[in-house]
């Protein structure tokens, strides 16, 4: 190569033929140090681009250049000069030379580019950090050359990862992406960019043994080839952190930073050492910056991040230990809002199910279905989901579980064993879990009837707050309908919502930490109606403000307007609540009886049908028996106001025998700081880790090969 072509005199030509607008970019640095980048159509001739380059180069030479001779631009290859009529797509080749203004530039084709670098901005001793290059083209993270330094001093080759040591405490970390290796030439190019951590390296400072030790292998696996360790973990999406001051007021702000919290989640995952790691509530950002790089560096292969539908940047992801499951054969994301079961779909469209249809339209639940190859050449199908959360939508969860299992069975095919993980938002006695456990649910099940009272946005504390705004300052519109008799389903629905609102208000009033509203500075007048509106305007609801809760409860109990409750008021409210509750319960019982009579009269035992809707319910069947590999623990979710088991690992019963399950952590460690999450437990859920043994039934294997032959 010509000696005059200096190493840094390069024109980078990058082709983007698959773009919506197929184009090429030309980037170069003029002798005066200024950079230029042009974007041209792929089919355009190089002559047109050169005309632009000539005029730019002429400007670069400075003013008064009008008298200088016109700038020449040309491209030459080993086989001679390239005509200006040749389109970009055919003109540029690696190592050819472009000349402008007498200056020669080496042509580099499709060189990598890196425009930024980021990491998890909370370095802690012993916690591995991943750096991630951003704005990358023509390279993967593995091609990027990273360099880490502590207080300006470079540490040895660590690649994309660095684990701070105790010698680093109090020091400042910087990671640099020095460019990326060109796939063909191996040359490092693409520019250097750095990320300086905003906080110095620190120690975690708490003892997490109560959280992690339980996750360690419970039993030495005797035959590693036939025992799989499965972990399911709702890691608490940072996307909802704006609600935590209300939901987890006991969870200190400095502990709740995603950068700190989710590194503890990763520690849990690495501690459990599972073959399958099914995560829910994974933020897209943290999948990319933390979970995916870290776990793939530790021998896992990852599914794509599977986001919920709509705008929520939170979803599911599954990781497989590559030595157990060398390859993902197929993965798909299904919506748990569109029911493929034709009988169910038709039923949802019925006029009486309009509220259900409306809710399903708004719900964003999805599930992942993944088929992987086992090391011995077999297959496993894994499902991962997070069912709709609303306590009143128990019927939705039954339908979602039905759709999830049906589709998982389809995806698996008849012979492939099945493992279904997730946060099912149901406790063992709830319809959804009874259904999965028993393999069927009756059309007269109480959860169908209760669910039929659900209305999207029904008992929303925010709607209730808005409602307060419509009360006139003179009190008109204050009194609610005191009639607590129920004659039809719609009235029952209203009464039910009223009863829920009353109990939620009472719960807020009971809590010391309920009064975390941001309205301390509201000045009081003589009118509670005027005052409560100030709270509502400040964003208070009956869920986060004692005063709004008191006002709402007084109104529902037909007491004078006010922002506090005396003991007498509370007694009166309790009586009013009892009346409402009694009427609602009677209405529910009546509705349940009617549904039972209807279901009995139309009962069908058609075994070919997986769904048989009757009235407000449906008889559903699961084609394959499932077993809860972790059994039915007392709880997996422990927050202020709710304690219950919501997380499960279901395995196809004919293929697996449950062998071990991680015990629950000691309650004292959980309640030390009221509830979860806290300094040691990074999520409001604890992970469930189970060992399942694959049945290597020879007779079954013979049957299977016979049926194939
Ligand atoms: Zn308030």
The 10s digit of each residue's pLDDT in 342-401 is 999 999 999 999 999 999 999 999 999 999 999 989 999 999 999 999 999 999 999 999
In this structure, of 185-199, 264-278, 488-502, the range with the lowest mean pLDDT score is 488-502
Q: 556 C-alpha to center of ligand 1: Å?
A: 18
- By three-state DSSP, how is residue 242 classified? helix
SS3 10: strand
Asked if residue 482 has pLDDT above 80, the reply is no
| H or E segment to which residue 228 belongs | strand 227-234
Interval between CA 571 and ligand 1 midpoint (Å): 23
Q: Is 158 exposed, middle or buried (0-12, 13-18, 19+ CB in 10 A)?
A: middle
The residue with greater pLDDT, 701 or 570, is 570
Query: Residue 648 in contact with residue 422, Cβ under 8 Å?
Result: yes
Contacts of 388 (CB under 8 A, 6+ apart): 336, 363, 365, 396, 397, 400, 425
Q: 55 vs 664, which has greater pLDDT?
A: 664
Once rounded to an integer, what is the mean pLDDT over residues 159-178? 97
- The more confidently predicted of residues 690 and 521 is 690
Confidence of residue 703 (pLDDT cuts 50, 70, 90): low
Kind plus residue range of the DSSP H or E element containing 512? none
Evaluate if residue 521 carries a pLDDT over 80. Answer: no
Whether pLDDT at 149 is above 90: yes
Q: What is the whole-number distance in angstroms between the Cα of residue 252 and the centre of ligand 1?
A: 20
- Angle CA 429–431–435, to nearest 5: 105
- Tell me how far the alpha carbon of residue 636 lies from the centroid of ligand 1, in angstroms: 32
- pLDDT-derived band at 66 (thresholds 50, 70, 90) equals very low
Quick one: pLDDT at residue 205?
A: 93
- Residue 368 Cα to ligand 1 midpoint, Å, equals 41
CA–centroid distance, 544 to ligand 1, in Å, is 7
Cα–chain-centroid distance for residue 538? 30
What is the three-class DSSP state of 469? Answer: helix
Region 176-196 average pLDDT: 92
Instruction: Indicate the SS3 state at residue 416.
Output: coil
Q: 558: CA distance to ligand 1 center in Å? A: 21
Using only C-alpha atoms, the chain has a radius of gyration, in whole angstroms, of 32
**CA-to-CA distance for 124 and 360, rounded, in angstroms?**
43
pLDDT at 219: 62
Residues 6+ apart with CB under 8 A from 233: 265, 268, 269, 277, 278, 279, 280, 647, 683, 685, 687, 688
| Lowest pLDDT segment from 62-71, 249-258, 291-300, 461-470 | 62-71
d(Cα 78, Cα 464) in Å, to the nearest integer?
77
Ligand 1 mean position, distance from CA 532 (Å) = 8
Short-list 242, 279, 491, CA closest to 386: 279
Least confident of 222-236, 301-315, 576-590: 222-236
369: which residues sit within 8 A by CB, 6+ positions away? Answer: 331, 332, 333, 334, 381, 382, 383, 407, 408, 411
The Å distance, Cα 523 to ligand 1 centre, comes to 11
Give the distance (Å) from ligand 1 centre to CA of residue 520. Answer: 7
3-class SS at 121? coil
Return the percentage of the chain with pLDDT > 70, whole number: 92
Cα(641) to centroid(ligand 1), Å:
20
* Whether the predicted pLDDT of 5 surpasses 50: no
- CA separation for the pair 439, 255 (Å, rounded): 42
Q: Report the separation in Å between the CA atom of 547 and the middle of ligand 1, taken as the mean of its atom positions.
A: 6
534 Cα to the center of ligand 1, angstroms? 8
Question: 73: Cβ–Cβ under 8 A, 6 or more apart, which residues?
Answer: 50, 53, 54, 57, 98, 99, 100, 101
Interval between CA 494 and ligand 1 midpoint (Å): 26
Three-class SS state of 139:
coil
Q: If you average pLDDT over residues 213-230, what whole number do you get?
A: 72
What per-residue confidence (pLDDT) applies to 299?
A: 97
Interhelix angle 546-556/528-537, rounded to 10 degrees, is 130
CA of 519 to the centre of ligand 1 (A): 5
State how beta strands 73-77 and 440-441 pair. Answer: unpaired
The arithmetic mean of pLDDT across residues 304-327, rounded, is 95
Distance 464 CA to ligand 1 centre (A): 14
Q: For residue 485, what pLDDT band results from cuts at 50, 70 and 90?
A: confident
Angle among Cα 394, 396, 401 to the nearest 5 degrees reads 100
CA of 467 to the centre of ligand 1 (A): 15
Q: How far is the CA of 573 from the centre of ligand 1 (A)?
A: 20
- d(CA 514, ligand 1 centre) in Å: 10
pLDDT of residue 217: 59
Residues ≥6 apart with Cβ < 8 Å to 201? 123, 124, 125, 150, 164, 168, 169, 170, 171, 172, 173
Tokens 């649910």 locate to: 441
Report pLDDT for 551: 95
- How far apart are alpha carbons 300 and 285 in whole angstroms? 19
273 Cα to the center of ligand 1, angstroms: 46
Three-point CA angle 12, 18, 21, nearest 5°: 85
**CA of 537 relative to ligand 1 center, distance in Å:** 9
d(CA 403, CA 510): 39
Distance 363 CA to ligand 1 centre (A): 30
Cβ(79)–Cβ(73) under 8 Å? no
Q: From the CA of 575, how far away is ligand 1's center (Å)?
A: 26
* Residue 699 scores a pLDDT above 70: no
Ligand 1 centroid from CA 411, angstroms = 50
The answer, yes or no, to whether residue 6 has pLDDT greater than 80, is no
Q: Ligand 1 centroid to 517 CA: how many Å?
A: 5
Q: How far is the CA of 574 from the centre of ligand 1 (A)?
A: 23
Residue 32 has pLDDT above 90, yes or no: no
Task: Give the mean pLDDT of the chain.
Answer: 90
**Residue 221: is its pLDDT beyond 60?**
no
Confidence of residue 645 (pLDDT cuts 50, 70, 90): very high
pLDDT-based confidence at residue 1 (cuts at 50, 70, 90): very low
How far does residue 190's CA lie from ligand 1's centre (Å)?
Answer: 54
pLDDT surpasses 70 at 515: no
CA 65, CA 68: separation in Å to the nearest integer?
5
Residue 220, pLDDT > 60, answer: no
Q: Is 47 exposed, middle or buried (CB count within 10 Å of its CB: 0-12, 13-18, 19+)? A: middle
What's the pLDDT score for residue 140?
95
Q: Give the number of residues written for the chain.
A: 709
How far does residue 213's CA lie from ligand 1's centre (Å)? 42
Whole-number Å distance, alpha carbon 637 to ligand 1 midpoint, is: 28
536 CA distance to ligand 1 middle (Å):
7
**CA 545 – ligand 1 centroid, Å:** 4
Res 483: pLDDT: 75
Q: What's the mean pLDDT in 15-19?
A: 95
Residue with more model confidence, 649 or 709: 649
**Residue 498 CA, ligand 1 centroid: distance in Å:** 21
- Residue 218 pLDDT: 62
The alpha carbon of 677 and the centre of ligand 1 are apart by a number of angstroms equal to 25
Which residues neighbour 615 within 8 Å (Cβ) at sequence distance 6 or greater?
A: 443, 448, 594, 595, 598, 599
pLDDT band of residue 283 (cuts 50, 70, 90) is: very high
The whole model's pTM is what?
Answer: 0.88
- Can you list the alpha helix ranges (DSSP code H) found in 249-340? 253-256, 258-272, 284-286, 292-297
Distance, CA 442 to ligand 1 centroid (Å)?
45
Residue 598 to residue 601: CA distance in whole angstroms:
5
Between 334 and 1, the higher pLDDT residue: 334
């Amino acid at each position: 190569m010509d000696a005059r072509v200096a190493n840094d005199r390069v024109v980078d030509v990058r082709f983007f033929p698959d773009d919506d607008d197929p184009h090429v970019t030309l980037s170069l640095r003029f002798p005066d140090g200024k950079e230029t980048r042009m974007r041209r159509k792929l089919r355009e001739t190089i002559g047109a681009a050169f005309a632009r380059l000539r005029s730019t180069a002429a400007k670069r030479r400075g003013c008064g250049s009008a008298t200088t001779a016109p700038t020449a631009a040309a491209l030459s290859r080993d086989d001679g000069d390239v005509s200006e009529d040749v389109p970009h797509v055919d003109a540029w080749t690696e190592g050819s030379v472009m000349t402008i203004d007498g200056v020669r530039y080496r042509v580099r084709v499709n060189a990598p580019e890196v425009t930024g670098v980021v990491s998890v901005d909370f370095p802690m001793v012993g916690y591995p950090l991943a750096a991630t290059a951003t704005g990358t083209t023509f390279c993967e993270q593995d091609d990027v050359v990273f360099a880490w330094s502590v207080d300006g001093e470079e540490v040895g080759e660590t690649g994309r990862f660095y684990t701070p040591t105790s010698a680093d405490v109090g020091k400042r970390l910087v990671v640099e992406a020095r460019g990326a290796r060109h796939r063909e030439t191996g040359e490092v190019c693409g520019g250097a960019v750095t990320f300086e951590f905003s906080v110095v390296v620190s120690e975690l400072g708490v003892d997490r043994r109560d959280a992690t030790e339980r996750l360690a292998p419970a039993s030495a696996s005797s035959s590693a080839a036939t025992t799989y360790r499965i972990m399911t973990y709702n890691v608490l999406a940072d996307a909802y952190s704006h609600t935590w001051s209300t939901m987890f007021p006991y969870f200190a702000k400095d502990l709740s930073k995603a950068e700190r919290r989710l590194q503890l989640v990763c520690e849990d995952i690495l501690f459990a050492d599972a073959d399958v790691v099914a995560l829910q509530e994974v933020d897209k950002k943290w999948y990319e910056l933390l979970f995916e790089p870290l776990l793939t560096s530790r021998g896992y292969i990852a599914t794509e991040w599977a986001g919920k539908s709509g705008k929520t940047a939170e979803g599911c992801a599954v990781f497989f230990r590559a030595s157990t499951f060398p390859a993902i054969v197929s993965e798909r994301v299904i919506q748990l809002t569109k029911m493929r079961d034709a009988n169910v779909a038709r039923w949802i469209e019925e006029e009486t199910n309009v509220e259900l249809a409306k809710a399903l339209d708004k719900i964003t639940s999805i599930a992942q279905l993944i088929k992987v190859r086992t090391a011995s050449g077999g297959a496993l199908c894994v499902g991962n989901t997070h069912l709709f959360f609303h306590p009143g939508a128990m019927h939705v969860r039954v339908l979602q579980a039905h759709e999830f299992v049906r589709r998982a069975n389809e995806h698996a095919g008849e012979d492939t064993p099945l493992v279904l993980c997730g946060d099912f938002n149901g406790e063992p006695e709830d319809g959804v879990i009874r259904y999965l456990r028993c393999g069927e649910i009756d059309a007269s099940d109480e959860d169908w009837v209760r669910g039929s009272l659900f209305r999207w946005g029904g008992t929303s504390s925010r709607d209730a707050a808005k409602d307060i705004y419509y009360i006139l300052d003179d009190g008109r519109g204050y009194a609610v309908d005191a009639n607590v008799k129920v004659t039809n389903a719609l009235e029952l629905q209203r009464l039910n919502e009223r009863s829920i609102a009353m109990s939620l208000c009472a719960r807020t009033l009971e809590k010391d930490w309920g009064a975390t509203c941001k309205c301390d500075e509201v000045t009081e007048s003589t009118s509670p109606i005027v005052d409560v509106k100030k709270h509502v305007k400040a964003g208070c609801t009956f869920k986060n403000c004692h005063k709004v809760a008191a006002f709402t409860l007084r109104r529902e109990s037909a007491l004078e307007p006010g922002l506090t409750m005396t003991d007498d008021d509370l007694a009166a409210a309790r009586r009013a609540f009892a009346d409402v509750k009694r009427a609602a319960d009677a209405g529910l019982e009546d509705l349940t009886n009617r549904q039972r009579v209807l279901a009995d009269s139309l009962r069908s035992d058609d075994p070919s049908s997986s769904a048989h809707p009757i009235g407000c319910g449906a008889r559903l069947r699961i084609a394959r028996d499932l077993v809860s590999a972790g059994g039915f623990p007392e709880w997996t979710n422990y927050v202020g106001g709710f304690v219950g088991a919501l997380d499960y690992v279901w395995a196809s019963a004919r293929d697996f025998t449950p062998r071990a399950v991680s015990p629950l952590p000691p309650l004292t460690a959980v309640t030390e700081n009221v509830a979860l999450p806290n300094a040691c437990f990074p999520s409001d859920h604890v992970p469930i880790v189970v060992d399942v043994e694959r049945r290597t039934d020879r007779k079954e294997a013979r049957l299977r090969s016979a049926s194939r032959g």
